[in-house]
Structures are given as structure tokens and as C-alpha cells.
């Protein structure tokens, strides 16, 4: 059974006081949520503060990126050991902003995924096409390449522990959400790709949608059979909106 997962990506937002207040409000709002998992991904500098606020709560801590090495001369980077020490359970990898602005390649994402799994962090692996690629009919090809390069060298047991996030680049931060049908088409495609490699394990992998998710579109997105949760950017900075997203309805089990 796939438990729906709702993750808030705070990106480069959140000085300590803001981050603590936002985490406290999410904690309060998520207290009575059953049958779904919630996580927030603050900036690195706020991870320890947010961890304290979330202590003994149902809300998990995620990081927005990491290096694959445990330590070394990698100025400005953060390692999986550091993320574990500060209490992270999840790490977002290969976000399109990392790919677009910081030159992350599929090969780097693959190394990060392996390292995250080796350190018992759950990788949330982001894939998705640009507007140009969608308009030229290349969506499935682009997503196939990204999924294959990031994941398909893994054993089935490792694939079981991964979360995939389909985030069409043209929908991120633009207010332009993919229709539930557009998202479902790609989610089903991704699950079939995983099935080729991992067989029935693919049915256990959570595939999140990301791109302008808001309280007014979440319920329709979550009706789709292969959408197992969401990765939320902008709306996750508003605790009320984020909690409403996490309270999507109707609740149902995914098998
Ligand atoms: C994201 O950054 O992962 C994202 C989906 O952003 P937004 O919800 O703002 O489109």
C-alpha cells in the first residue's frame, strides 16, 4: 500500500524565526492527520531549528539537496552524514532548479541517490520536462531518460525505498498546473518504467506530482490512481494552505 506523502519545499526561504513559526504551524495543523505522511524541507541553516520544533511530531524533516560524499574538500556542500545527524529522513534530489541553475546532471543525481540510500535517507528524485520539450512532444522521452539514468541501475530492493517526483518545469512556480490527466499519464509511464526493472516492486513506489499545487487543485490531482502525493513549493510557505493540501480529500488507499 502506498501511503500518500505531502512534502513542502521551502527553497531559499526561512530565516530562523520564520522557519520555527512555519514549522510550528504545520505541526499543529498536521497533528490529527491520519493515513498520510507529511514532511518539510527547510533551507540547511534552519534544519536544526526546525527539527527541534518538530520533535516527537508526525511531521518529518527533509533536505533540499546533498553531496554524495560523506566528507571532504567540497566547499559549500552538505553530506548525507550531516543530514542524518540533523535528523533528516528525506532528501530532495535533482530538483529542476538544481539542474537548471547549478548544472546538476543525471549522472550526479544517480550518485546522490545511491549515497542517500546507503545512508538510509529516502531520496525524492525529481524529474520533468521543460515547456519546449512538452510542446515538441518529448515529455515521455525526457522523463524516461531521467528516470533510467537516476534509478534503473539500482536493484529492486533499492528502488522500493525511492520516492519519485514528477515536476514539469513549466508548472513550477508559474501558477500553471498540469491537468490531473497530464500528470496521471506521466505517472503511469514512470511506474511502468520502474516495473520493467523492478517488477511488482513498482507498485509500492510513491510517485509525487509537483508544480503549482494549491488547495484548490489538490483534490482533483489526488483522485488520479498513480498520484501518490505532492511536492509543494510556493504554497508550502503558507501553513494554512499547506495543511489544507495535506488534508486533501477523499482519503483513499492506493495499492
Ligand atoms: C517545487 O519547487 O518543487 C514546486 C513544485 O514549486 P511550486 O509548488 O511553487 O510550483
91-143 per-position pLDDT tens digit: 999 999 999 999 999 999 999 999 999 999 999 999 999 999 999 999 999 99
Could you give phi then psi for residue 62, rounded to 5 degrees? -130, 155
- Look at residue 251 in the predicted model and tell me its pLDDT: 67
Active site residues: 95, 167
Give the pLDDT band of residue 153 (cuts 50, 70, 90).
confident
Note the pLDDT of residue 255: 59
* Residue 246 predicted with pLDDT over 80: yes
Mode of pairing for the β-strands spanning 5-9 and 37-41 = parallel
What residue owns the CA closest to ligand 1's atom 1?
233
Closest CA to 133 of 118, 122, 143: 143
Among the ranges given (37-41, 75-79, 194-198), the one the predictor scored with the smallest mean pLDDT: 194-198
Q: Whose CA is nearest to atom 4 of ligand 1?
A: 233
pLDDT at position 1, please?
84
pLDDT of amino acid 253: 60
Please, what CATH class does the domain formed by 5-246 belong to?
A: alpha beta
Write down the mean pLDDT value for the chain: 96
Domain chopping of the chain, boundaries = 5-246
User: 173 falls in which pLDDT band (50, 70, 90)?
Assistant: confident
Q: Quick one: how far is CA 119 from the chain centroid?
A: 18
Class of residue 46 by CB neighbours under 10 A (exposed 0-12, middle 13-18, buried 19+) = buried
What does the alpha-carbon distance between residue 159 and residue 183 come to, in Å, rounded to a whole number? 21
Return the closest-CA partner of residue 237 out of 41, 47, 92: 41
SS3 146: helix
Peptide bond into 74 cis (omega under 30): no
Give the three cell numbers for residue 5: 506523502
Q: Is the CB of 8 under 6 A from ligand 1?
A: no
Whether the pLDDT of residue 54 is over 90: the answer is yes
- Our answer on whether the CB atom of 172 is closer than 6 Å to any ligand 1 atom is yes
Decide if pLDDT at 200 tops 80.
yes
Q: Nearest C-alpha to atom 8 of ligand 1 is from which residue?
A: 233
Count of other CB atoms within 10 angstroms of residue 202: 19
Residue of 211, 217, 229, 245 to test ligand 1 pocket, by largest number of atoms within 8 Å of CB = 211
Query: What percent of the chain is modeled with pLDDT above 90?
Result: 92
Q: What is the pLDDT of residue 221?
A: 97
- Whether 201 shows a pLDDT value over 90: the answer reads yes
For the Cβ of 234 lying below 6 angstroms from any atom of ligand 1, the answer is yes
pLDDT of residue 91: 98
Please enumerate in sequence order all residues whose Cβ is within 8 A of that of 10, keeping only pairs 6 or more positions apart, or say none.
Answer: 19, 22, 40, 41, 42, 43, 46, 64, 236, 237
The answer on pLDDT for 170 being more than 70 is: yes
Measure the CA angle with vertex 119, ends 25 and 110; round to 5°.
95
Q: Which pLDDT score, from 0 to 100, does residue 250 have?
A: 75
The closest-lying atom of ligand 1 relative to the alpha carbon of residue 212 is: 10
Question: What would the grid cell of residue 191 be?
Answer: 511506474
Distance, in Å, from the CA atom of 126 to the CA atom of 233, rounded to the nearest integer, reads 13
pTM above 0.95, yes or no: yes
Task: Dump pLDDT digits (tens) for 6-16.
Answer: 999 999 999 99
177 against 251, higher pLDDT: 177
User: 53-80 b/e with 16+ CB inside 10 Å = b?
Assistant: bbeeeebbbbbbbbbbeeeeeeeeebbb
34 vs 189: which has the higher pLDDT:
189
Amino acid at each position: 500500500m502506498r501511503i500518500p506523502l505531502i512534502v513542502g519545499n521551502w527553497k531559499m526561504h526561512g530565516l530562523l524565526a520564520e522557519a520555527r513559526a512555519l514549522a510550528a504551524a504545520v505541526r499543529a495543523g498536521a497533528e490529527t492527520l491520519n493515513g498520510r505522511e507529511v514532511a518539510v524541507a527547510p533551507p540547511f541553516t534552519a534544519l536544526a531549528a526546525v527539527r527541534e520544533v518538530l520533535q516527537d511530531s508526525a511531521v518529518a524533516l527533509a533536505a533540499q539537496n546533498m553531496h554524495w560524499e560523506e566528507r571532504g574538500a567540497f566547499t559549500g556542500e552538505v553530506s548525507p552524514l550531516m543530514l542524518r545527524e540533523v535528523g533528516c529522513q528525506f532528501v530532495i534530489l535533482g530538483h529542476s532548479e538544481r539542474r537548471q541553475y547549478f548544472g546538476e546532471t543525471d549522472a550526479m543525481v544517480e550518485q546522490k541517490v545511491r549515497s542517500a540510500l546507503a545512508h538510509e535517507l529516502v531520496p525524492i528524485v525529481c524529474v520533468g520536462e521543460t515547456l519546449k520539450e512538452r510542446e515538441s512532444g518529448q515529455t515521455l522521452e525526457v522523463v524516461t531518460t531521467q528516470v533510467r539514468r537516476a534509478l534503473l541501475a539500482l536493484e529492486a530492493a533499492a528502488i522500493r525505498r525511492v520516492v519519485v517526483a514528477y515536476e514539469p518545469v513549466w508548472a513550477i512556480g508559474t501558477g500553471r498546473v498540469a491537468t490531473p490527466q497530464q500528470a496521471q499519464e506521466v505517472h503511469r509511464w514512470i511506474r511502468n518504467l520502474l516495473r520493467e526493472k523492478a517488477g511488482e516492486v513498482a507498485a509500492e513506489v510513491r510517485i509525487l506530482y509537483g508544480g503549482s499545487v494549491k488547495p484548490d487543485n489538490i483534490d482533483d490531482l489526488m483522485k488520479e490512481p498513480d498520484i501518490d502525493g505532492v511536492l509543494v513549493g510556493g504554497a508550502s510557505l503558507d501553513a494554512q494552505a499547506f495543511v489544507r493540501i495535506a488534508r486533501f480529500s477523499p482519503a483513499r488507499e492506493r495499492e
